[in-house]
Structure formats: C-alpha cells, structure tokens
Structure 1
C-alpha cells in the first residue's frame, strides 16, 4: 500500500480536479497568513518546522543501519532450566518473535525444561540503538510492511535494541550509498502506514519511551510513548465541502481518506486527544503532513498542510490547532486530505465523525 492508493480520477469534475495529484511535486509555497485566533509559533519553531516541513531530519534517518543480518538454518532446540525465549533467540541467532510464531507460543511465553522448540530458518537483522523499522527495511531493500507481517509486530511498533528481526526472503543488503539516498530521495516513496508504524527509534534494554510534552522545546529523536487508550470521540478537523470521498475511485485507485476543500490558511484542528507521531513533508504526494496517534490503534492523518504548528512528540487535545490548510504536495487547490486508521487499516472518516 502506497501513495498510489490516494491518486484520484483524472476524468472527474472540476471540483475533484483540485485534489488530483500532479505529475511532479510543486515547489514549496510561501507561508499562509495566520488567523486572528491562531497561536503564533516561536522563531525557534518556525526555523525547525518551517512552512510544510517538520523537524529538518526525520527520525528514521538519524541512525544509519549496519546490515548485520545473519542467515540461520532450521534446527531444533531442547529447553534447559533458566532459558527464556529471548536467550534462546540470542543463542540461535533467530528472533524470539519468529520462534514464538513457529511454535505457536503465546504471551507470556512460559517455557518448560525439556520442551522441544523449532528454530525457523531465515535472515535475521539484530537491531542497534536508535535504528528504526523504516531504516532497517530500506537498508535491505524491502518493504517495512512485509517486515511487520513476517514478525507479527503490533502496536506500538517500537523495536528494542538487540531484537532480531526476520527479513523477507528477498532481502538483500543495499550498498551504503543507496542507504543514504533512501534517507532522502527514497523517503518520498514511504506511505502513511510506514511512518505510523516504522519511524520509532529502538529502545535500549532498560529504556522507556518518552512521555509526550505539551510543547517540546527541541526535536524529539527518541521513541515516544503511545497513548494508553483512545479517549473521547472524533471531531471535524475543519469545515468545508467534501471534494473527495473514501474508497475505490477507479480500477487500482483508492482514496484512503476524504478531501475537504478549505481556503488557504484555514486552521486545522486535531480530531481527538493524542500525540503527534509525525510532522513533516517527506511524502511528496501529501506535502505538509501531520500524524497523530490516539491510542487503541487509532491514527489520524492531515495532508496538504500549508503550515505545520506542532512537532513530533507533542501532546494535543481534540480541537487544538495543529497547522493551516494549503495546497502543498501533489494538488492544485487548497484542501485537507484527512484519514483515520484503526490497527493500520484506513476507515471511512465520515462514519466516525459527527453528522453535519
């Protein structure tokens, strides 16, 4: 699943033409005027966040990935007193998650002496401090979504230092130059699901995810704790005419959200309480993009922003202004592309928002 799912019909009405992605991304637009009620960002925030960009360097590029993957052959292991799933994974070179899946083990993964375990064959990467899922996937030329599936990873998708990730069978370590390019040019091929699930830096053995702050003073480059649970209900991010509906548009073309027409500079509001998981413009099709993690598997996305006024790791409340609408990314008219996702699956926002 990628940005192509968001492409809209070219042979639509003039109204829909405003949200048709262009063949190439337009140049960044000047800052939109602020409304009288819009909080003014500090000079520091403007230098860091900019018009449609979040922190200058996204978290998934902060730590270069050393391609240390080890090929493990299928074997069996007899559990000894004191063994844990992690210690067996460390000894065998296989991931504890992969071993659990291979042997149909469920949390809390209690083992007994003498138990026979199958060690699954595969290529396993050992996660280093600060590495992210996106960075690891790019380093081996695979899709992060495949890595999630192969390892049965789940929310909050925070890797741990020393964790051994099983890689898809076609994974191949990429030359260093290619890995560097993936931090920049290839980043434009990422989609919302990639960023929502694979941009958190790995935690150390005794590390704890950072607690969200109302107004982080500097970029947060560590893992961020996800909200314990979704609270409240969703509110409209802004008021405007729906110019693009959720769902199939044409063979092979799907809109994962809705598009709402809005004059340039219209305040964009957080749809519910949560933590900003991403704020930047590294996905060309969406331009200025904000992702908010609401807990319980819910994530909201706000695309085509002309100005971003929040940063990663910031706690927000329903109705808080998080930016201003614009026409950034591959669109021709000012609008907001709005998505709601539950457990990685896009859902129709109109079925979750209050009727109007």
Structure 2
C-alpha cells in the first residue's frame, strides 16, 4: 500500500496546530469581500470550536477578523470566515497531481476535504485547496563589536555537534514493502513501509519529544510523531499499540509502540518517515 504525505505536521494536524507555529508561518492570500461569509457567535463558542466547525485554520480566522489577545469572542458577534479556493476535478486528475499543481500535499487535501480514501476522487468533484505554508525568513542580527580583553584567559567553548544527519536508527527490522518516492504514476510515498511481525517493538529512531500520539489522521491508523533537534521529525504509522504519550521525551532505541496493521493497510507493517521541517526525505539515505 502506497503511503502519502503527513504534513508535517503543521497547523492542519488536528490537535497539533500549535506545535509547529514556531517553525512555520501561515501565509494568507489576499482576501476579497466576495470570498467572505460570516458566522454569528452563539453561547459556548470559542475560536477553536469555530475553526473545527468550518474546517478553517484558527490563525486564518484570527487574522481576517483582527482578533487580538486574549482572543475572546462574544455571543452575537459576527465572525468573517474566508473561504478556501475550490478546484473542480478533471479527467486524469489524481489527488497527488492536484497537490503538485497547488504546491500543497496529499495529507492537507485529505484532511481539509475529509477524504478517507485518497485514491478515490471523481471527475467534477469539488476539492478545497488549503493555504500555503512556508518557512519564515531568518532575520539577520547585527554583530556586536568585539570587546578588548586584558589579561583574561579566553576559554573556547566546545561547539555543539549535530550528528543527526547520520544517527537515525531503524525503528524496526524487516523487508521493505514500499520505497520512498513515486513507484506508480500519480502516487508518491513520503517514507518507507517495512514488513514485520504483529506486536514487534517499534523503536524511536532518534532522541526527541513526542508531539503527536493518536489515531485521528485518516489512513495512518495509530500514529506517533517525534520531533528531534534541528527541526527533524520522524513518523511511525499503523501501530498495533501506542506505548508513549504526547509530551513524552524518548531516547534513541526506546520502544514507543508495537507493529500492527491499523489504518488503510491490508498487512502488518510499519510506515516510517523522516522529515526536515515539512519536507520528506528518503529514510534509506539516513538510516544506519
């Protein structure tokens, strides 16, 4: 079974929106009045519940309504809801080809359009297109002039080494069912799928913090996402059982779950991804 992008994990990830705000900036297209609709707030509403109700990123609602901290809203208040762009499926389209056309990814499209099977779209079907997500530009800081030192012994600090590029270990050993990349026209695997026995221990590929642990993402079954240093992320899908919770810090080689076949797969396996930010890389080039 071919697997598809997780987007790293970005604001679209259900309860994980806030995790990646520091690494990613949401860029809003120019909003025109004809693209707006409004919602009247009722008792019990908050920005989060409205964003979920209308499937619109909470940051988009905040920005379009110029809502400031502490981000309170009140009954009968009118909230403008910018609509997402709509694309009509044409003959020959696949969800993957549409994602490439609009510079987004399959995961974002599947979540936004509530698609349980990304392989099944029909001609003339309306597909909502999510906003672009880009890395923020780094702000260059002015260098401070060096101060003269007199009779002081200068101790050079040992630089922090970052061997993350070659230190990933295999989360589980087994035959590779599907490799990274496009093996079939119109499909793209953002990781590798490894065959294993049901219940085999799945190891953390590198030290890091678990930023997602659950099964709310269509197709992936029980899923764990681990954030590592230098903005590296690993994903472990189709787990039979999850043994760690969001917020747990795990060491490389520590068991985080058990191999299974949950989600949209027909045989026991682990889907494994390595990402640098939101960009998927070929795990086989990094695993040792």
Q: TM-score, normalised by structure 1?
A: 0.42
CA distance in 2, matches of 1:261, 1:283: 21
1:234 aligned residue: 168
Shift, 1:327, TM fit: 1.1
1:326 aligned residue: 260
| CA 1:236–1:4: 2 relative to 1, 3 Å | closer
Alignment of 1:122-137 (within 5 A): 137=51
CA distance in 1, matches of 2:202, 2:114: 28
Alignment of 1:30-179 (within 5 A): 59=15, 137-142=51-56, 162=71, 169-170=83-84
| CA 1:146–1:252: 2 relative to 1, 3 Å | farther
CA distance in 1, matches of 2:168, 2:197: 22
1:336 aligned residue: 270
| CA 1:161–1:275: 2 relative to 1, 3 Å | farther
2:4 aligned residue: 6
| CA 1:231–1:277: 2 relative to 1, 3 Å | farther
Shift, 1:167, TM fit: 7.1
CA distance in 1, matches of 2:239, 2:249: 19
Task: Map Cα deviations across residues 229-268 of structure 1 (whole Å, 9 max, x no partner).
Answer: 9764211101111111001122221111100001011100
1:264 alignment partner, SS class: coil
| CA 1:120–1:253: 2 relative to 1, 3 Å | closer
Say whether 1:303 aligns with 2:255. no
Shift, 1:284, TM fit: 3.5
CA distance in 2, matches of 1:277, 1:230: 21
Shift, 1:352, TM fit: 1.2
| CA 1:336–1:161: 2 relative to 1, 3 Å | farther
1:277 aligned residue: 211
Cα pair 1:264 1:334 within 8 Å, conserved: yes
| CA 1:167–1:247: 2 relative to 1, 3 Å | farther
Say whether 1:244 aligns with 2:178. yes
CA distance in 1, matches of 2:3, 2:58: 15
Task: Map Cα deviations across residues 109-135 of structure 1 (whole Å, 9 max, x no partner).
Answer: xxxxxxxxxx9878799xxx9966xx6
CA distance in 1, matches of 2:184, 2:249: 38
1:291 aligned residue: 225
Structure 1 ranges of 4+ moved more than 3 A: 58-61, 119-125, 129-132, 135-142, 144-147, 160-163, 166-171, 185-190, 229-232
Gaps of 5+ in 2: 6-13, 18-25, 39-44, 73-79, 86-110, 119-129, 134-160
CA distance in 2, matches of 1:346, 1:326: 23
| CA 1:230–1:325: 2 relative to 1, 3 Å | farther
CA distance in 2, matches of 1:300, 1:292: 5
How many residue pairs are counted as aligned between the two chains? 187
Cα pair 1:187 1:282 within 8 Å, conserved: no
Cα pair 1:230 1:298 within 8 Å, conserved: no
2:247 aligned residue: 313
Q: TM-score, normalised by structure 2?
A: 0.51
| CA 1:293–1:283: 2 relative to 1, 3 Å | same
1:224 aligned residue: none
